[in-house]
Amino acid sequence: MGGRVLITDIQKFCVNDGPGFRTNVYVKGCPLRCAWCHNPETIDTRPELYWKRRLCVQCGECLTACPKDAILPPIDPALAQAEGSHYHKVDRKRCDLCMECVTACSYGALEAVGKSMTVDEILDVVEQDRPFYENSGGGMTLTGGEPTMFPEFSESLLAGSGKRGLHNCLDTNGYCAWESLERLLPYADILLFDVKHLDPAAHQRMTGADNARILQNLEKLTRTGKEVWIRVPVVPGFNDSIEFHQALARHLASLPGRVARVDLLPFHNWCQDKYGWLGVEWPLGETEAMDPGMLEIPVDLYRYAGLKASIGGSGFESTGTE
């Protein structure tokens, strides 16, 4: 049941995606195109190819192996790795993702992104760290990408984790049919729900979709009695104003059901290498990482509205109202 999906990573010892120590399972595929996305490799539902320039010694083995002439000839490694270099090993227009170059590369410079896995294969990895979950109140977090794009698989994975006695969180952007989200609710212990903006035009501009469905799903979700953690990725020039946080705090406080907590997640640019590995220009690559201290006033706005709130979302952080 549930079949297979592509998984980009199973990341252990995570502390910002639910309570305690967690193992995050990243599905590959997302309906949004957020300009600040920190996991660009999880957007496309298809396999992709990384080229990691720092590991490439320009040996030419991948050039020999490629049947589509999609590999550029070797150059001086120092030139390829120089700051500001526009050299990219893979001609993405020619590449058909056969991954022959990955097999040929002895240095790990070429890497296939997206591994087809079953529910049991994933849970076997997750369960390896059961002692850490039991000692910290942690477990598995299903994230991505967007798990609701794969409702049957996500249902099977969440249900399977429950059968193994593992706590789980479902991390969703909420951009889905309500029925897709609703079928997962019986199997999810905590819902981590992204809210990026209240204004539909601003949301459309920065994510590629308006937010009507997301806000409707959030309202319905709070009526179910499930534990909901709101996560707000705070991006400079998009949703970092005091006015935005005042409006969002009022909106969340007015919802028909309880919001357990609000986590403000400051923008960072530590993911820019991933864009380079994919051969993609990141429009926010020159935007400086946000100092978490800049969110001290915004986080108080949520607390004044009667909501528990944190900066960064650590599952170990005290988030009581003040």
Inter-residue contact 208 to 180 (CB < 8 Å): no
User: How many CB atoms within 10 Å of residue 248?
Assistant: 24
117 and 2 in contact (C-beta within 8 Å)? no
Q: What pLDDT is stored for residue 320 in this prediction?
A: 40
Q: Which amino acid is at 251?
A: H
| Whether the predicted pLDDT of 318 surpasses 80 | no
Average pLDDT (239-261) is 97
Residue 75's CB is within 10 A of a number of other CB atoms, namely 13
Distance (Å, rounded) from C-alpha 83 to C-alpha 34?
27
Residue 69 CA to residue 95 CA, distance in Å, equals: 8
Residues contacting 49, CB < 8 A, separation 6+: 90, 95, 97, 99, 101, 102, 110, 111, 112, 113, 278
Would the pLDDT of 257 be above 60?
yes
Tokens 């080229």, residue located? 51
- What is the structure's pLDDT at 322? 35
Q: How many CB atoms lie within 10 A of CB 262?
A: 28
pLDDT of 83 reads 86
Confidence of residue 315 (pLDDT cuts 50, 70, 90): confident
Q: Give the span between the Cα atoms of 85 and 80, in whole angstroms.
A: 6
Cite the beta strand spans of the chain per DSSP E: 4-14, 22-27, 48-51, 110-113, 115-118, 139-143, 167-172, 190-194, 227-234, 261-266, 309-311
pLDDT score of 317 = 56
pLDDT at 263: 98
Question: What percent of the chain is modeled with pLDDT above 70?
Answer: 98
Please determine, for residue 321, whether its predicted confidence score (pLDDT) is greater than 70.
no
Instruction: Find out whether 242 and 301 touch, Cβ atoms under 8 Å.
Output: yes
| Torsion angle, alpha carbons of 172, 176, 178, 183, to 10 | -60
Residue 248, both tokens: 């969002």
Q: What end-to-end distance do the CA atoms of the chain give, in Å?
A: 46
Domains of the chain (ranges; CATH) run 4-41+118-311 (3.20.20.70), 48-113 (3.30.70.20)
Residue 45 has pLDDT above 80, yes or no: yes
Mean pLDDT in residue range 172-198: 98
Residue 141, classed as helix, strand or coil, is: strand
- DSSP labels, 25-88: EEES--S---TT-S-GGGTSSS-EEEE-GGG----SHHHHH-TTS-BPPP--HHHHHSTT----
* Mean pLDDT of all residues in 59-67: 97
pLDDT in tens, 75-115: 999 999 998 899 999 999 999 999 999 999 999 999 999 99
Confidence bin at 314 (pLDDT 50/70/90): confident
pLDDT for position 1: 58
For residue 245, give both structure tokens: 């946080």
Question: Does pTM surpass 0.85?
Answer: yes
Mean predicted lDDT score pLDDT of the chain: 95
- The pLDDT confidence band at residue 316, using thresholds 50, 70 and 90, is confident
Name the DSSP class of 1. Answer: -
Give the model confidence (pLDDT) of 278-306 as tens digits. 999 999 999 999 999 999 999 999 999 99
